[in-house]
Every structure is written in structure tokens, then in C-alpha cells.
Structure 1
Amino acid sequence: MEHHNCLNCDTELIGKFCSNCGQKSDTHRITFKHFIMHDVLHGIWHFEKGMLFTAKQALLRPGKAALDYIAGKRIQYYNVFYFILLLIGLSVFIQNYHEHLIEIYNGKIENINNSTGKKIDVFMASYAKLLIFSFVPLFAFNTFILFRKKKLNLSEHFIIAGIIYLGIMIITVVGHSFFFFDFTKHFEILSDIANIATPLIILFYVIYGYYTAFKENYGKIGFSVRMLFFLLLLGFELFIIAISIIGYVTDWKFGSIKYQM
């Protein structure tokens, strides 16, 4: 080997990776061939491979995958929370584009004339990604309270919530894609089916995901009761968030909300 010290931190090299910073010991001068074949193609391949693996694990075995990740099996996974943010952005884009097409083809279905309605619309548009992502800490906090026998800390519950919510976002994006059948001549029914099926699939997926994560610590009845409280607590939290948003944009004058068709 030409270099005996790490080119990044100058630590003496033993093995294929630097023991101090983790950089590969075979790092060499960048050439055009190396840039194209390694930095570009190799990087894209591993980027996609990691995302595909993570998506597959999140959809097929979310609870078990989360526990594997917590146990230290992490090298094959793409960053779950980055992945969620990417899918949130894609979901918001699909929804906005679908609404834009509806306005083009059918005209505006609902016209909100009062200033309060416009403020709510602006707030939701400005903070859509943050609001959608807020489900992750809500999921984590609720399971941390309800599933204590697993003896996981709050951060580990964030990992379980993140992987399960990743699956939710994948299902959501696929479901929203079916909405574009609204603009076809013979397949409009697929959009209606997706509109009904998507939330039901998500509900069963969440229950399945958490069951596979906690089934070793709770019987079916114990899990079912806790899952019911999880959903009720989540509904209450979302209600509080909704009231807070409306209160914020109306200066807590709820009587000012009037929608005109």
C-alpha cells in the first residue's frame, strides 16, 4: 500500500478502514474514470439499493426491522427520517398538482372568501411537511407510555415510529398516485377505491407493525387494549393540534371562522 497513514486524519492505517475516522485505506487520487465509475454510478447504486431495502423492510416487516435496527443491524438501511422527509415532499407535491389539475378541468369546487379561511390555508401550506412529520414524535411518545414492558427508551421508540411511519408514507404516496385516474375516461373508480382503501390499509398496517414489534411482550388482548388507547390518544393529540392551529390563526376568536361556498 502506498500510503501508511490515513489521508483524512493522518492516523496509522491497519486494515481496510481507518480506526479513527472510518475512511477507506485505499483512497487514491481522483481521476475522470474513478469519478464516473465510483463516485457517481457506485454512489447512485448504493443510494437506491439502500432506499429499496429500507422500503421493503418497512412495508413487509416494520416491527421486526425496527427491532433489528435498534439491536445494531443498520448498515443496509438508508436514513429512515431523511426517507420520510423525501416522501412527505413527494406526497405534498402530488396533492398540490392533483388539486391544480382539478381547478383546470373542473374549476374551483370551494371558494374560501374570508380572511380566516385564507390564513388557515396559508398556515397549512407553509407548515405541511412539519405537521405531517409531527406524527413520528406522537407515535413514539404514545408507545413509550403504553408499551413499557419492552424496556426501550424514548429514542428507540422513535426508531420504531420512524420505520412504521415510513411505511405509512409509502402507502400514502402510492394511494395518492391513484387520484390521477380522476382525469381518465373509464377508470375514475380507481381513484374512489384508493380514497377509501388507503386509510384502511394504513390503519391495518399500523396495527400490524406495532404487533410485530411488541407481540413478544404482550398477549393479543393486552396488545389490543394498548393499541386502542394508542389510537384514542393519537386522535386526542391531533384534535389539540387542530384547535391550536385554528386558535393561532384566529387570535383565539373561533367565531370568526366562516366559510362561504
Structure 2
Amino acid sequence: MNNSTKCLNCDQEISGNFCSHCGQKTAIHRIDFKNFIKHHFLHGLFHIEKGMLFTAKESLIRPGKAALDYIEGKRIRYYNVFYFILLLIGLNLFLSNYHAQLVNEYFDHPTIVIKDTFGNKFQPFLIKNAKILIFSFVPLFAINSFILFRKRKLNFSEHLIIAGITFLGILLINTLDTIVSFLIFTEYFDIIYKILTIIIGITIILLPIFSYYQTFKEYYKKGTFAFRVILFILLTLLELYVFAFFIVGYLSNWKFGDVQFNT
């Protein structure tokens, strides 16, 4: 146990249970097996899980309010939103790839074949940069909300927080959809999968609207907000189109006539 009057981490004078400079506990015990299991392994695991579950719940139930709470400084209960997004992207890619393999095995499903040099570049590019491409939705959301929802006078970084929590909710729902998609390999539950897919698709569309409404409803009338949301969606689709245009152009050496997709 630490009996010193100085913090063992930053060497600052300490008083109380925590160092006022770096936040480390002042009661430091020697690491033995019992201490390791109780304080390092179980506590760390529970803390991460608790933070992730709370953040997941907030991003689904009250994403706009959660974003505002975080912006206003209520952050200790939240798991890092952007780490969480990257973890979910990785999980979704793993599940999607495994699902595609099962589809080919069970249904002899025809896969898309991309011909020519473009095809040889396109598929590896998607595989290599999938996380970056999916994560790019967050700054796109932030840019568009920063342009369209100015009355609240939030800076761009704060719009990134709103976009991150909103996109986290979308990814959580999409993860559920990916998991539910495995029902097509069952004999009696494929109809449930079709119904759930429709419900999940509608929810994914409505969640960002719900999130931004919670965030900015006090600053815009409903008609004005609806108009700005429509612009938000159209602007996002336009940016994705331009983004795809430049990727395809770069990979095809700007020879769009040579790009062919055949089954």
C-alpha cells in the first residue's frame, strides 16, 4: 500500500483518495492473484461492459439528448463513442462475410463478378478500406448538421459528437439486422426475418431524424425542421454519390466506360 504523500504516478503532492493532478487512486496495493482478479480483471471488465451497455442504450432511446448531455460535460458513464463505432464496424464486417459464405454454400447463390482491371482493384480496395469508408458517415453527418442546424451555435467538434452517437445507434440496429439475417438458414423462421428486416430498415431511417429532432427541436419549428432534415438527407446522398464517383474514377483511371458489373 502507498504510504507516501506523493502520487506514485505523477509525483505530485496528494490528499484524499485520488490525486488531484492525474486522478490516480492514492490507495495502491501490491498486485497479487486475489487483487488481480478482483480489482484489475473483473472490475475492468465490468466497467467497460457497463459503459458500453449504457452508451448503446442511450444511442437507441435518446440519442439527441445523450449527445447534448455529453457535450455539456456529463461524460463519465459513456464509453468512447468512436471506439464503439469501430468495434461494431469490425463485428458487422465479420458477420457479413460469414453470412455471404453461408449463402454460397447453402443456396449456391451467384456472386457479382467485376471484370477487367477495375474489378481487380475495386474489391481489394473495399476490403482494405471498409472501416474507413463506413466511418466516413460520421464526418459527413457532422458537416451537414453543422451547415443546416446553426441556430444552436454548436461548433463542428460538437456536431461530431451528435453524429457519432447517432451513427452508433444506426450501427447497433444494423448489427441486429445482420444477426437476424441468419434466420434465412432456418426452415420456419425465414418469414420472421423478412418482417424484421422491414421493421429494422424503417427504424434505421427514422433514428437519425429522431436524434436530430431531440437535439434541435427547441430551435426550429416542425415545418422548418422537416425541410432541413430533407436537405440533410439529400445532401448526404449527394456527397456519397460524389465520393463513389471519385473512388470509381481513381480505380478505373477515369475510364468509366471500361467499368462493367456482370453476374
Note the 1:159-178 alignment, pairs <5 A. Answer: 159-178=161-180
Over residues 53-105 of structure 1, what are the superposed CA-to-partner deviations in whole Å (9 max), with x where a residue is unaligned? Answer: 11111110000000000000000000000000000111111111100101111
Runs of 5+ in structure 1 lacking a partner?
Answer: none
Measure, in 2, the Cα distance between the counterparts of 1:29 and 1:7.
13
Measure, in 2, the Cα distance between the counterparts of 1:149 and 1:236.
24
**Structure 1 residue 169: deviation in Å?**
0.5
In structure 1, what is the equivalent of residue 213 of structure 2? 211
**Structure 1 residue 111: deviation in Å?**
4.4
Q: Which runs of 4+ in 1 moved over 6 A?
A: none
**Structure 1 residue 3: deviation in Å?**
2.2
In structure 2, what is the equivalent of residue 12 of structure 1? 13
Residue identity (%) = 53
1:19 maps to a residue whose letter is: S
Over residues 12-50 of structure 1, what are the superposed CA-to-partner deviations in whole Å (9 max), with x where a residue is unaligned? Answer: 102221122111111222111111111000110111000
Matched, 1:109 2:110: yes
Over residues 175-199 of structure 1, what are the superposed CA-to-partner deviations in whole Å (9 max), with x where a residue is unaligned? Answer: 1111101111111123323443333
Note the 1:104-183 alignment, pairs <5 A. Answer: 104-112=105-113, 114-115=115-116, 116-183=118-185
> What's the RMSD between the two structures over aligned residues?
1.3
What is the total number of aligned residue pairs between the two structures? 261
TM-score, scaled to structure 1: 0.96
**Structure 1 residue 119: deviation in Å?**
2.4
Residues 134 and 254 of structure 1: CA distance in aligned 2, closer, same or farther (over 3 Å): same
Residues 181 and 118 of structure 1: CA distance in aligned 2, closer, same or farther (over 3 Å): farther
**Structure 1 residue 113: deviation in Å?**
5.2
Measure, in 2, the Cα distance between the counterparts of 1:94 and 1:131.
17
In structure 2, what is the equivalent of residue 200 of structure 1? 202
TM-score, scaled to structure 2: 0.96
